[in-house]
Amino acid sequence: MVTARELVLSRRPQGRIEPGCFTLVERKLPALSQGQLLVRADCFSVDPSMIPRLSVDTYAAAFDLGAAVEARAVGRVVQSRADGWSEGDWALCWGGWRDYAVVDASEGIRIQPRSGLPPHTWLHVLGVPGLTAYIGLVDVARMQPGDRVWVSAAAGAVGSVAAQLAKARGASLVIGSAGGAEKARYLTGTLGLDAAVDYRAGHLAEQLRGAAPEGIDIYFDNVGGGHLEAAIDLLRTGGRAAICGMISGYGKPPGPGPGNLTQLIIKRLRLEGFLVLDHLHRRAAFEEAVLPLVEDGTLHTDVTMFDDLQSAPQALLSLLDGAKLGKALVRP
């Protein structure tokens, strides 16, 4: 029998997330049934969508108390009772916040790490964050060459891919916003964006207007709140917003919405929220378009790696505090 270390949700946060909401436990895993795999995690994901689920139902149910927090993981198969799977295979699965997991093979995806591409790439640019960026730009915002694009949280997992994809697909202007001067320099110096806005420097709308005096055609929203209100003002007639996250409001009581919604009528704007889970059938087209850009170095795929299972709450807080670049991952 294998003993797994798990980080479980022991109490729901009251306001800000605290490490004391989680408890490290050990559990003996059951023997494998037919069609199951035992996977040793290489690393697991920490995502903004997990934050509200610590407390309430969203598009998915709230996490269960006393159970390991659900999360995508990438790891190696150490035992298989599933046809087509062998010891040593790499798997992308719902392993959760644990070092070993028993998973149904039908819910796992076999990955084949390539030279120069570490396995955790399938939790970042070749995983759900990358697919989210692709769907938001291509399917929801219907980006065309020459469009002028603003991406919020552009130093994060989804935003960094969305901004770089916009450049690669022929946008005439790509602006990224992030918190802090260092991240703003990263957006232009490393990711190659045309302009960067530091929202912590104040006067967000003025900074944006200076970067895009003619306005924008597309806004890719990861933040909501004041960013969304600024985008509505900046969007040109017929502009589109792809809305996949509103992290500025996670873990807080609901606040007032944008005060300029009449602009949706005046400028005939289209604001559309989306869930990547509704677009998993687009994975093949996404990989065909994005994998070459990853392999030739066009897309930077920075990660912030947190070591040890017990660092997962700190990794989650880094999403709110802006204390990371790219994708936040935990290596158990």
The predicted-structure confidence for 40-53, as pLDDT tens digits, reads as follows: 999 999 999 999 99
- What burial class does residue 125 get, using C-beta atoms within 10 Å of its C-beta: 0-12 exposed, 13-18 middle, 19+ buried? buried
Does 298 map to a domain? no
- CB within 8 Å of 222: residues ≥ 6 apart: 48, 151, 152, 153, 156, 158, 159, 244, 245, 246, 247
Q: Domain range for residue 213?
A: 128-277
Judge if 99 and 171 occupy the same domain.
no
Does 290 map to a domain? no
Q: What Å distances lie between residue 276 and 69, 95, 110, 130, CA to CA? A: 20, 19, 20, 10
The predicted-structure confidence for 118-141, as pLDDT tens digits, reads as follows: 999 999 999 999 999 999 999 999
Judge if 208 and 134 occupy the same domain.
yes
The predicted-structure confidence for 199-237, as pLDDT tens digits, reads as follows: 999 899 999 999 999 999 999 999 999 999 999 999 999
Tokens of residue 4, six digits: 């797994």
Overall pTM > 0.85: yes
CATH number of the domain that residue 261 is part of: 3.40.50.720
The Cα diameter of the chain in Å comes to 65
- In angstroms, the CA 226 to CA 183 distance is 19
Judge if 106 and 153 occupy the same domain.
no
Which residues lie across from 37 on neighbouring strands? 80, 103
The predicted-structure confidence for 27-80, as pLDDT tens digits, reads as follows: 999 999 999 999 999 999 999 999 999 999 998 999 999 999 999 999 999 999
pLDDT given at position 190 = 95
Judge if 17 and 150 occupy the same domain.
no
Judge if 318 and 180 occupy the same domain.
no
Q: What residue spans of the chain are helical by DSSP H?
A: 50-53, 128-134, 157-168, 181-189, 204-211, 225-234, 263-266, 283-295, 312-321
AA letter at 75: G
Does 282 map to a domain? no
**In degrees rounded to 5, what are phi and psi of residue 78?**
-105, -15
Judge if 64 and 94 occupy the same domain.
yes
Judge if 134 and 240 occupy the same domain.
yes
Judge if 311 and 196 occupy the same domain.
no
Does 152 map to a domain? yes
Does 318 map to a domain? yes
Does 296 map to a domain? no
Does 185 map to a domain? yes
- In angstroms, the CA 94 to CA 72 distance is 4
If one counts the domains in the chain, the total is 2
Tokens of residue 166, six digits: 């916009």
Judge if 157 and 196 occupy the same domain.
yes
Judge if 45 and 151 occupy the same domain.
no
pLDDT exceeds cutoff 70 at 251 = no
